[in-house]
Structures are given as structure tokens and as C-alpha cells.
Structure 1
């Protein structure tokens, strides 16, 4: 009788363990998930001043009024006085997405050669909007 009881309890334990292994993983509670998301997006490393050619420049600041991953881009992006302004940007998969009068733009990391500007060709730490428009440190 004791052997039968022992065998049955062992089977019950093994069955319970097997069911736990087959059950799908439950997502972490929101409080734990919040700690798994990086506190600072990679684009936060871009905050500060960047220099282009012929007086072009870019300053990136956090837009704390909106929240994490939002930026204010103050830039002189063309040679004419009206080619300047401050634009709201948002962290995107490959950089910072923003819109200015010449349309939607994306700011992405690269080197001086990727800017297409010979004056920046030897730089290593640059941000590029398009070929011919880049800013480096």
C-alpha cells in the first residue's frame, strides 16, 4: 500500500512539473517592464552642438515637455536666413525624425565621408540629413 501511494505521489509531482514546463511564459508586470526599457535612447548621445560647413550648424536639446525620445533641433540648414529654425524631432529606428519647411527629414549617424562634403571627409562623428547636408563634432 505504501509503495502504491509513493508511486502515485511521484506521478502527481512529475505531471505537475511537466505542466509548468508547457505553460506559456507570462509577460512581466508593467512595473518590471518599465525597468527593462532603456532609460535613455541612443539618440540622447547626440545632444549638443554640431558644426556644418559655411556657417551651417545644429543644436540638439531634449524636449522634456513631451518626454523621453523627443528633441528640439535648432539649425541653420541653408545659406539663406530663412533656412533656419527650431524643429521638433522624435527618436526613430535609425535616428531622429523631424519636419521642416522643405519636408519630412531624418537625422542619422555617419562619418564625414557619408556627408558628401569634402570639408568634413576626415571627421568620424557626424550626423547626416542628406548628401550635402551634414554636421560633425
Structure 2
């Protein structure tokens, strides 16, 4: 009887420890998620350089060195009119690069050519999009 009680007690202790460690592990974010949230600029740093749209639209992404990691300068011709051009400051987020220009707050995000909504870019794979009809791709 004493052996049975000891065995039962040991089983209860072991299962209690097992449940506690499972609960602790599930409260922690997955390693990939934690890395992306802590450094979203690691994704957007790959976007630095020149991107080309249609009919003269172009986007040049550079680091904004004075502001630290995750801060960019976006030089863009984003429309056909001469006043649809400028250089804008952007900040990396988990979704892309957030920036503000005359037409409001924008989000530059990863896409493929089909998502741009532009038939001339439809077959491209490496693209960035602000909104349908405004996309920039690399070959």
C-alpha cells in the first residue's frame, strides 16, 4: 500500500511539472515572429536600391543614415504629373515601409507583378506596391 501511494505521488508530481513547462513554452512567441517584430528593417533592408514602374514611375530606396536602422528615404515619381514626385521619409514596420506624402499615409509592401494591377508588370516576381496601380519591380 505504501509503495502504491509513493508511486501515485510521484506520478502526480511528474505530470504537474510537465504541464507547467508546456504552459511556459506556449506563452513565448515563436523565434521567427520575435525576430521579425524586433527588427522589421531586416526584411526592408533588402529593398534598398532602384525599382521601376510603368510610364516613368520609379522608386529609389536609401538608408537614412542619420536616423538609424529601419529609417529610409524614398525618392519617387509616383504619378504622371510633375508634382507627383518627391523624397519621403519612411520607417520599417512588420508589414513594410510606412511613409507619408501629399496624398496621405502610405504603406510600401512586398508583392508580385500581378498584385500591382498593371499588365506590363504582371509577369514580374520581385515587386513593391503602394496601392493597386502603383507598383515598382526589379527584374
The normalised TM-score by structure 2 is: 0.71
Deviations 1:20-76 (A, max 9, x none): xx9x9xxxxxxxxxxxx6595210000000000000000000001100000000000
Question: Secondary structure of 1:65's match?
Answer: helix
**Gaps (5+ residues) in structure 2?**
1-16, 25-37
Q: Distance in 1 between matches of 2:84 and 2:116?
A: 19
Counterpart for residue 34 of structure 2:
none
Question: RMSD in angstroms over aligned alpha carbons?
Answer: 2.0
Q: Distance in 1 between matches of 2:79 and 2:101?
A: 12
**Gaps (5+ residues) in structure 1?**
1-17, 25-36
Counterpart for residue 76 of structure 1:
77
**Could you list the runs of 4 or more consecutive aligned residues of structure 1 that deviate by over 3 angstroms after TM superposition?**
37-40
Greater Rg by CA:
1
Q: Distance in 2 between matches of 1:99 and 1:39?
A: 18
Question: Secondary structure of 2:46's match?
Answer: helix
Q: Distance in 2 between matches of 1:66 and 1:92?
A: 15
Counterpart for residue 98 of structure 1:
99
The normalised TM-score by structure 1 is: 0.72
Question: Secondary structure of 1:119's match?
Answer: coil
Q: Distance in 1 between matches of 2:84 and 2:117?
A: 20
Question: Secondary structure of 2:55's match?
Answer: coil
